[in-house]
Amino acid sequence: MFYRRKFYIVKNDFVEKFNDHFDKTNLPNQLKYGARLVGRWLKDNKDNTTEIFAIWEYDSYDNYIEIENNVKGDNAHVKRIKEWYEKNGGREHIFTEYILEVKNEELVSTLR
């Protein structure tokens, strides 16, 4: 199995809009191509930001790459993403004003 954690630091006033985008746009497309969501959580950082992260499960690293390529190659999905950015001021604006940090990390089990 391959696990990854997608991690964001988001300004609090953008959390609801960001979660709605995940629920309606990103999650369905990931699931469509075979990604498995273990869970998604948030934590208030007490500094007007919120940490939001999801843990995803894949059969293997190669399976993860295949799914990501399918997601990124889905023209209808890419169009929805672009429209969402434009509706909210553009990609650069969102990553300057609302989404302060993003990480996509492999998780390695300590169990043997």
Four-way CATH pick for 2-106: 3.40.50.10540, 1.10.274.10, 3.40.50.300, 3.30.70.100: 3.30.70.100
Give me the amino acid identity at 98: Y
CA distance 5 to 38: 10
Domain extents in the chain: 2-106
Separation of CA 106 from chain center = 14
Q: Residue 23: beta bridge partners?
A: none
The predicted-structure confidence for 25-84, as pLDDT tens digits, reads as follows 999 999 999 999 999 999 999 999 999 999 999 999 999 999 999 999 999 999 999 999
pLDDT of residue 62: 97
Over range 9-22, report the average pLDDT: 97
Q: Is it the case that residue 112 has pLDDT exceeding 90?
A: no
Cβ–Cβ < 8 Å for 9, 51: yes
pLDDT of residue 37: 98
